Amino acid sequence: MNGQLDLSGKLIIKAQLGEDIRRIPIHNEDITYDELVLMMQRVFRGKLLSNDEVTIKYKDEDGDLITIFDSSDLSFAIQCSRILKLTLFVNGQPRPLESNQVKYLRRELIELRNKVNRLLDCLEPPAEPGVSTNLPESG
């Protein structure tokens, strides 16, 4: 041996939870689904709780996110790629949006909120009887 590590057969898992991405070398490819979930809980300690409902998806050759539901799904995913790119979804939450998408959606939501508030203000009944309002009375 020349002292070099043989990495040719090693599986690499790149796991993403939100903005946090971790790279994990795996020596044993016969990993089960339950072992993978436990590993993710250790790797993302503090961000992933044992009672969280975790959905794990991998990116296939087309860039699609494919759900890993059990150990057979996991072994198929491992056969597809030596670098397994995983995305974790916790309690049904999708992965976070990119910051420019967040800014755009925030602007849109603020605009909607302002429109709703203006409409609600127009529909506001008089506070007390006898107090004049800006709205014309029907009659």
Model pLDDT, residue 126:
67
Model pLDDT, residue 36:
92
Model pLDDT, residue 131:
54
- 112 burial type by CB count under 10 A (0-12 exposed, 13-18 middle, 19+ buried): exposed
Question: For residue range 12-64, what is the model confidence (pLDDT) as tens digits?
Answer: 999 998 888 999 998 877 889 999 999 998 998 878 777 778 899 998 888 88
Q: Measure the CA–CA gap between 112 and 118, rounded to whole angstroms.
A: 10
Which residues 6+ apart lie within 8 Å of 102 measured at CB? 96
Q: Which amino acid is at 37?
A: V
Give the torsion sign (CA, 110, 113, 119, 122). negative
Q: Is the pLDDT of residue 1 over 50?
A: no
Q: Measure the CA–CA gap between 126 and 80, rounded to whole angstroms.
A: 67
pTM summary value: 0.58
Report the first-to-last Cα separation within the chain, whole angstroms. 99
